[in-house]
Homo-oligomer: A and B are copies of this chain.
Amino acid sequence: MPTIKDIAKKLGVSVSTVSRALNNHPDIREETKEEVLEAIKKLNYTPNALARSLIHKRSYTIGLMIPDITDQFFSAMAQGVEEVLSDSGYLVVYGNMSRSPKKERIFLQNASERKMDGLIVTPDTMDDEMIALLQRLEIPVVFLRRRPPASLQMPFVDVDHYKGTCKAIEYLLSLGHKDIGFIGLPDYSFTGRERYRGFVDTMNRHGIELHPNGCVFDERSIALGYQGMAQLHVNYPGMTAVFAANDLLGVGALEWLAENRISVPEQMSVVGFDNLEMTNLHWIKLTTVAQPRTEMGKKAAELLMEMISEKRLASESILFDTELVIRNTCASPNVLKTTI
């Protein structure tokens, strides 16, 4: 690989001149510039971005920490991030954490050593070590679909899980349901707690008492939604609708209902959360709460671009609204009764 020196020698000019041609600096004669550019083509010269970054103290690289690249929820966000960042001339380094805390630490270490210009992160762990690492980074960071701990003065882009759930429950209520079961996410998850809070508050606001065995909490997976539905069916016989705190759980619930020949929405209404692509499949058509995933990714990237160009580490956070996507899994609870 030829260097700037090689092409300077070949042309009998100084490296400064070559550099000026490369960066189209005004202080260079047009003819000289063209000669240089021609030689560059002929010798198949590529500038060394590493050397350039060393001087500029910028790597034109943004790190994107993703919990699981295989999960379409995150890949849609990633796409949004990529779109605006690559348009701005940055290279985005996707770091796939595979849900491993160790990988998260290594990624931040890498970001620091490779002098990344900014970071968009969706961390799963948030222990003291992690916080300390983020603190030390000295580069702009924005949290995406996660909230930073208060001690970290960093902006986030997330969705209003509370309001989203309220909307879904209001919808079920408007259909006439009163006996609504809840398949929720684990308590350690902020998202899970917010969605649960939305459920409880909305029910209370309407003066409806919660069934003592009407809630079940599980990790996010289809199999667990299936189990949860089975449990609720036994423990909450009067139930006419279920809110699943995410689509995986919702699809699992639907699966159990299909297997047990309980027709949806005639005998049971189901609502999910996330609007995963699979929920729009012909056999599923789940009514669900949509998060603007690509938009969130874009917004996070725009925020980061602003922070970088204005050289500040903080910024306003952004909370997106959700949208209730009504499909085929909800109906009034008395449809069946009146026809009998």
Contact = CB atoms under 8 A, between A and B. Distances in A.
A56 to B, nearest CB: 10
Given A251-B281, A278-B278, A115 B82 contact: no
Given A54-B50, A115-B48, A255 B282 contact: yes
A227 interface: no
A47 interface: yes
A69 interface: yes
A334 interface: no
Interface in A75-127: 75-76, 78-79, 82-83, 86, 91-94, 96, 98, 103, 106, 109-110, 112-115
Scoring A70, A82, A284 by chain B CB atoms within 10 A of each residue's CB, the highest score goes to A70
This chain: copies in complex: 2
Scoring A1, A79, A96 by chain B CB atoms within 10 A of each residue's CB, the highest score goes to A96
A234 interface: no
A340 interface: no
Contact of A283 (B53, B115, B281): B281
Contact of A54 (B47, B54, B83, B109): B54
A213 interface: no
Interface of A: 1, 44, 46-51, 53-54, 59, 69-70, 72, 75-76, 78-79, 82-83, 86, 91-94, 96, 98, 103, 106, 109-110, 112-115, 136, 138, 251, 254-255, 258-259, 278, 281-284
